[in-house]
Amino acid sequence: MNAKRLTLGVTLFGLLFFGLAGAAGAQGINYIARPPYAQVSPKTVIPNGLPYCGTTSGLTLICYPPSFIRTAYNFPADLDGTGQTILIVDAYGSPTIESDLILFDEVFGIAPPPSFTIFCPEGCPPYNPNDKLHGVSGWSIETSLDVEYAHAMAPGANIVLVVAASSTGDSVNVAEAKAIAKYPGSIMSQSFGAGEFGIHGNNVQVAQAHKNFVAAEVAGITVLASAGDDGAANAFMVGMNLEIGNVANASFPSSDPLVLAAGGTEGNPYQALGTGSFSCAANTICSTGLVTVSGPCDSASLSDCTPVGYGGEQVWNEPDFAPGSTTGGAPSLLFGVPSYQEGLGLASRTTPDVSYNAAINGGVLVVNTAVLGEPTFFIVGGTSAASPQWAAIIALANQSAGHPLGFVNPAIYKLAQSAAYANDFHDITAGNNVMAGTSVGFNAAAGWDDASGWGTPNVTNLVPDLVACATTTTCP
């Protein structure tokens, strides 16, 4: 199908909203997924305009399709996740996800997954975009992002969309418990969270989630979650007011010690909005931030160009799009230091463990029909993108190992403290996660840090070493 069949942009969406967020009160946790996104303008013809996409607000943003991300992070050509199952947990889902995934694959030349299953343990809920309390429309974008990019990075894996009947903690816990029982040996991705500072009197829901993660560990399931989009303070919006926590705090469930927490990065150098045009001459290599490309490329004509390798990264923090524009990462208020984080000088479980591209200006291209009623491209950012793509990496590692690796956090930390670290990870040493309007956050530093964890993956190098660290007593 030709990409021109997609309807491209009318306005700029989502950039005034926070991304991962959750509110907690006496009734429990309500996870709200609002990944930051921008609709692509009608002047941009995908994929010929890559790596730059225009929006009808007049902005020209860097945008990446799957091939650019795969190239930057050096995904192997000989592994595709065959035989593995990735569970994508979202509330409400999207009524058009099946057709959107088909079109996404056709546009970007990706084979369809061996199977795509929608699993609604409590019945599939109706799609009501007017339900602002639960952020139903945002969950639709979230679903498109999670499903499409988990599949794009592990195209041979089976994808199961686990749909919770609502965004409440109780519903999510019920859906996950049933999915864990039904799909042992899988990989479970959660692109949602709630700031721990807001979890008062909700220990029952936290305890139930942890019970699920214990069951997942027993079942050989790797559990991942996004670290949050609201900085180290987990600031959040109430109406148009920015509410700021007075202490650094992690986002739950990424803070659970049995969960691999995925934080966010952006390109380095980062091309700030309104800083000029981009030009890359023929037969030259140029950086677009995360990805290096081979020219000719021109941001004015949006001419096509080819991804050739990794550029550079720093901590994801885009004040032009605040709030909801900065990676989470902070000490937990709920959990003590797990054994795998001992020796880092921490006082409690601290996130993230790893990171991945989460930029808005430098985001990924997602297909969604539900929001506007017709197939549309969106540029999507946020740590929502990190969890499903790291889930795909675990699927590749499981395939390589010939069996599920299950709880991988100890192996990740053992590997990152071995001689293989420099070959397997991009160590993020620039930037911080102090979101605009707040004063709490952490700087990136060499090795592990509160803003980026161990950094981002060099997947071809990482996979065999992760398998070795997870299955033997020594690391490379």
The 3-state secondary structure of 127-166 reads CCCCCCCCCHHHHHHHHHHHHHHHHHHCCCCEEEEEEECC
CB atoms within 10 A of CB 109: 10
Specify if 300 maps to a domain. no
Domain with 447, as residue range(s), is 3-277+310-471
Q: Which residues lie below 8 Å from residue 465, measured CB to CB, with a gap of 6+? A: 415, 418, 420, 423, 424, 475, 476
Using only C-alpha atoms, what is the Rg of the chain? 20
* Residue 329's CATH number: 3.40.50.200
pTM of the entire structure? 0.94
What is the mean pLDDT, run by run of 10 residues, along the chain of 476 residues? 32 32 59 87 76 79 95 98 98 97 97 98 90 84 98 98 96 98 98 87 87 98 97 68 71 98 97 77 94 87 87 96 92 96 97 98 96 93 98 99 98 97 98 92 98 98 98 85
C-alpha separations of 209 from 27, 142, 166 in Å: 16, 21, 15
| Dist CA 224 CA 459 (whole Å) | 17
Place of tokens 């990496």: 393
Identify whether 476 is part of a domain. Answer: no
The reply to whether 96 falls in a domain is: yes
* 25 is a domain residue: yes
CB distance 70 to 143 below 8 Å: no
H runs (alpha helix) in 432-473: 459-471
Tokens for 438, please give them: 């707040």
Give domain status of residue 302, yes or no: no
- For residue 291, tell me if it sits in a domain: no
What is the spatial distance between Cα 229 and Cα 324, in angstroms, rounded to a whole number?
A: 5
Residue 466 maps to a domain: yes
| DSSP structural state of residue 113 | P
pLDDT of residue 236: 60
Q: Is residue 99 part of a domain?
A: yes
Considering its fold, how many domains does the chain have in total? 1
